[in-house]
Structure 1
Amino acid sequence: MMKQLYDVIVVGAGSMGMSAGYELARRGMRTLLIDAFDPPHDKGSHHGEPRLIRHAYSGGPTYVKLALRADERWRELEQSTGEKLLERSGVLNVADPDIYKFDVRFDDAEEHGIRIESLDADEIRHRWPGIRVPDHYRAMYEPDAGYLYSEKCVSAYRRLAAEAGARILTNTPVTAIQAGTSFVTVSTKDVTYTASHVVLSAGAWFRSFASLIDAPIRAVRKVVGWFEPNGSAATGAYDAGTFPGFTFGDASGGYYGFPSIGGAGVKIGRHDGGRPWEPGEPFAPFGAYPEDETDLRLALEKFLPGAAGKLLRGVACKYELTPDDNFIIDTHPEHPNIVLAGGFSGHGFKFSSAIGELIADRIEFGRWGRDISIFSLDRFAEQGRLQAEARTRT
C-alpha cells in the first residue's frame, strides 16, 4: 500500500472541513482533504440552501463572538471570490413567552453592539401581514442577520483551497485512522496517507471512528420542504427582499425557515425531533414517512397560512447531535495532533468560516485563537460525574 506525507489531513470535507482545509493551505501547509462523497453534496448537512446566520445568539457570549467573527469571514470570502454568499434579509425570531424568553439575548446584543428590536404580536402582524401569531407572543428581530447560500459557500472554499495548493480527494471513504506519537496515518481502500496532524470533521459519520474517539454524537434524519404561497393575499408577501428569515418556537416545537428565493417557495424545517440514523444504514428520502410533509405543513398553517400551498420540493438531511446541543471542538484526549470538530447539532453551518480559522490556529500555533472551553470534549465526563453524584444522593 502506497504512503504519502502531508502536514495536515482533513477527514470529512463538508462545511467545517472545507473551511479548515482552505485556512490551512493558504498558510502554507501541505494539506489533504478526503471526503467519502464529492462536496458540496446531498449526503450530509450542508445541502438544500440556504442557512440562517444570526448574531444575537442563544448560548451566551462564546456563540455571539464566534457568530460575529464568522460574519466577518463570510464577507472576506465574498470579497475573495466575487460571489454573493450572504443576504441581509433580517431574521425574525418569534416565541411563546411561556416557553422561551429573549431577555438574555437582548442583553448579549447590547453588550456586543448588535442591532436588535423587540416586537409584540401587533407589530409582527403589521410589518409582515403574512404572519399569524397569538396576541401574547413576542419576537426579537435582528435586521443585520440573514442567510447564507450554503452550497455556494462550500464550493467557494473548495475552489480557494485548491488554488492555495490543497489536494482534495473525493468519493474516497476513509477506512482507518491510526494515531502515533508524532504522526497519524489515514487509510483508504488503496492508499495510506501520513500527516503530522489530522482534523476529524466527519459530520454524521463521526461514529464510524468510534475506535479512535468515542464522542457522544448521534445522527438523526431531518427534513425540510419548500411550499408555494397560495391565494392573492399571499402574492409577494413571502418573497425574498420583503420577508425575513424566521424561527418560531412554542409547545409544539421549534421551526425555522426562509422567504421564497427566486420563486422557489417558502422553505421550512423543524429543528427538534428527527429519526435516528447510523452510518451504513439506508437513508430514507423525503416523503418516506407521512410526517415529513404534514409536520411542516401544520407549522405553516399555524404561523404562515398564506405559505401553506403546494409542496414544491422536499429533501432529507442529517443532524449530528451532542447531548447538550453544543459543538465539540477540541483535541483528542490522548493525541493532541488530532483535532476533533463535530456535533454541530443542526446550527453549526453559520459558524464554519470562523471554525476553520480556529482549527488552523490550533494546528499552526498550538493554541486556540479564542476561549472555546464550552466546546471541550471533557465536559461530558464532568456532566456524567455530576449526574452520578446526584443519583447517589437520591
Structure 2
Amino acid sequence: MSGRTGYDVIVVGAGSMGMSAGYYLAKRGVRTLLIDAFDPPHSNGSHHGEPRLIRHAYEGGPQYVRLALRADVLWQELEQESGVKLLERSGVINMADPSVLSLSQRFRDAEEAGIRCERLDGEEVRRRWQGLRMPDGFEALYEPNAGYLFSERCVAAYRRLALAAGAELLVNTTVIRVTATRSQVTVRTTKGVYTAGCAILSAGAWFRTLAPFANLPVRAVRKVVGWFDAESETDAPLFQAGNFPGFTFGSTLGGYYGFPNIGGAGIKIGRHDGGQPWKPGDPFEPFGTYLEDEADLRRALEAFLPAAAGRLRKGLACKYELSPDGHFIVDAHADYSNVLMAGGFSGHGFKFASAVGEALSDWLTAGKRPADVVPFARSRFAEPAPVHTPEEAIR
C-alpha cells in the first residue's frame, strides 16, 4: 500500500466481479483501491473449486447471449495479456427433459446471434459420448465452441495485472461501514478510513454486511460440488478432458452441471438448484455435513453418467448469492449514482465476470449506464427510487 487514503474509485469486494472491475479501471489510469475481507483468489466466496462453464447459447434471452459473447472476447484478451491458460474450449452439451426445461428459445436466440450449435437426439448423443445416458425423450443442445474457465487463475490474472497497472489492494480487511454524499464515498475498515469519488460494491454472498447502506435483495445459500472417479479403468478414458465435454442436465431430479476429468481430478458435478440458507456470521458447514451432499450428486451421475458414479475423490462447499428471480443485479445505489452495486449472480455469473467488470468501469468513466447491463436494474423488484446526478464523474 502507498499510504494514500484518497482514490478515484474504491471497490468493496475483490472477487471475480470486483477484481475484474478493478483491472479495467486501473488500466484506464483510474486511481483504484480494491478491498477484500480475504486474500483473493480464496475459498470464502463463489470463485473457488475450478473450473466454471462458459456458454454462449444461453437461457435468459438475448441480453445474456450478448454479454456472454463479449465476456468471451475479454477472457481471450486476458489470457493473451497474462500469458496464462484460462479458457478451454471443450464443447458443452445441454440435456433437458422438455417437461421441465425447454431448450427451444435458447436455439432461436443462438441462431439469431450466429452462434454455432447443434440440436441432437438421444441416439446421436450416446453415439458421440458413450459415457452419456440421455433418455430418448430429452432435448439436447451441443455448443462446440463453449467450454470452461479456470476461475481461480482468472481472478489471480486480474489481480496481478490490476496491481501492475497501478491499482492498490487491501486484503484480509473487513469493511465496517460505507457512507456517501453525491461527490464522495467513505469506507471505514479495520485498517483505516478511505475515500473516493465513486465506489463499486461487489460483496457477493457477504452483501448483507453492507446493510443498511446497501440493501440489495440478495440471499446466500450453501452449495456443494464433488469430483468422482469412473467406476473402472476401462471407463475412465470416456470422461477425460479432450474426449468429453462440459455438461448440464435439467430433469425431474433437478438442475446439474459438470466437467470432464481434468488432469486426473475426476468428473466434477454440482447441483444448481436447492441448497441450505446461509448468512455471514453463521458457521459454514463443510461438504459431507448433510447426507444429500454426496447423495444428490451421485443420483444424477447414476442417471446420466453411470460409469462416472465411482468413488468420491473430493467434495467442496461454496456459496451462491441469489437474487429473487435468479437474474443479476447491476445498478446504481438508489440515492447515490456515484455508488454502483453488482450482486445476485445466482450461481451462473462467473463466466460473465470479465464483461460485468468492463461494464462497471465503463459506467463510472463515461458517466452512463452501459446498454449490456440495463436489463439488470434493481428497479424490476420495486418502484424505482430517485437517483441523484453526481456532481463529478471520472473521465
TM-score by length of 1: 0.95
| 1:100 Cα deviation after fit | 1.4
Question: Paired residue for 2:116?
Answer: 115
Q: In the alignment, residue 352 of structure 1 is paired with which amino acid?
A: A
Residue identity over aligned pairs, in percent, reads 63
- Give yes or no for contact 1:3–1:192 (8 Å, CA) kept in 2: no
Question: Paired residue for 1:57?
Answer: 58
Deviations 1:110-155 (A, max 9, x none): 1111000000111111111101122211200000000000000000
Question: Paired residue for 2:378?
Answer: 377
Question: Paired residue for 1:301?
Answer: 302
Question: Paired residue for 2:145?
Answer: 144
Question: Paired residue for 1:75?
Answer: 76
Structure 2 distance, partners of 1:250, 1:20, is 36
Query: 3-state DSSP class of the match of 2:382?
Result: helix
Structure 2 distance, partners of 1:214, 1:355, is 20
Query: 3-state DSSP class of the match of 1:247?
Result: strand
Question: Paired residue for 1:12?
Answer: 13
- Give yes or no for contact 1:162–1:168 (8 Å, CA) kept in 2: yes
Structure 2 distance, partners of 1:181, 1:148, is 38
Question: Paired residue for 2:322?
Answer: 321
| 1:382 Cα deviation after fit | 5.0
- Give yes or no for contact 2:182–2:337 (8 Å, CA) kept in 1: no
Deviations 1:14-54 (A, max 9, x none): 00000000000010011000000000000010000000000
Q: In the alignment, residue 242 of structure 2 is paired with which amino acid?
A: G
Comparing 10-19 with 177-186, greater Cα deviation is found at: 177-186
Structure 1 residue 255 corresponds to structure 2 residue 251: no
Q: In the alignment, residue 310 of structure 1 is paired with which amino acid?
A: R
- Give yes or no for contact 1:233–1:306 (8 Å, CA) kept in 2: no
- Give yes or no for contact 2:122–2:134 (8 Å, CA) kept in 1: yes
Structure 2 distance, partners of 1:170, 1:365, is 28
| 1:233-312 correspondence runs (5 A) | 233-312=234-313
Question: Paired residue for 1:367?
Answer: 368
Deviations 1:198-242 (A, max 9, x none): 100000001111211221100000000000011244130000000
- Give yes or no for contact 2:86–2:153 (8 Å, CA) kept in 1: yes
Comparing 162-171 with 366-375, greater Cα deviation is found at: 366-375
Question: Paired residue for 1:350?
Answer: 351
| 1:301 Cα deviation after fit | 0.6
TM-score by length of 2: 0.95
Q: Which runs of 4+ in 1 moved over 4 A?
A: none
Q: In the alignment, residue 95 of structure 1 is paired with which amino acid?
A: A
Structure 2 distance, partners of 1:128, 1:119, is 12
- Give yes or no for contact 2:66–2:372 (8 Å, CA) kept in 1: no
Q: In the alignment, residue 202 of structure 2 is paired with which amino acid?
A: S
Structure 1 residue 133 corresponds to structure 2 residue 117: no
Q: In the alignment, residue 106 of structure 2 is paired with which amino acid?
A: R
Structure 2 distance, partners of 1:86, 1:110, is 23
Comparing 352-361 with 374-383, greater Cα deviation is found at: 374-383
Structure 1 distance, partners of 2:75, 2:191, is 36
| 1:101 Cα deviation after fit | 1.4
Structure 2 distance, partners of 1:251, 1:233, is 30
Query: 3-state DSSP class of the match of 2:163?
Result: helix
Structure 2 distance, partners of 1:190, 1:47, is 26
Query: 3-state DSSP class of the match of 1:29?
Result: coil
Deviations 1:164-193 (A, max 9, x none): 000011000101001112101001123100
Question: Paired residue for 1:190?
Answer: 191
Structure 1 distance, partners of 2:372, 2:58, is 17
Structure 1 distance, partners of 2:318, 2:338, is 31
Q: In the alignment, residue 148 of structure 1 is paired with which amino acid?
A: L
Query: 3-state DSSP class of the match of 2:47?
Result: coil
Question: Paired residue for 1:104?
Answer: 105
Question: Paired residue for 2:91?
Answer: 90
Deviations 1:278-324 (A, max 9, x none): 11111001111111111101110111001001100110000000110
Comparing 204-213 with 5-14, greater Cα deviation is found at: 204-213
| 1:3 Cα deviation after fit | 7.7
Query: 3-state DSSP class of the match of 1:316?
Result: strand
Query: 3-state DSSP class of the match of 1:237?
Result: helix
Question: Paired residue for 1:166?
Answer: 167
Query: 3-state DSSP class of the match of 1:7?
Result: strand
Structure 2 distance, partners of 1:382, 1:255, is 35
| 1:372 Cα deviation after fit | 2.4
- Give yes or no for contact 1:51–1:149 (8 Å, CA) kept in 2: yes
Structure 2 distance, partners of 1:225, 1:219, is 20
Q: In the alignment, residue 223 of structure 2 is paired with which amino acid?
A: K
Structure 2 distance, partners of 1:258, 1:37, is 27
Unaligned runs of 5+ in 1: 384-394
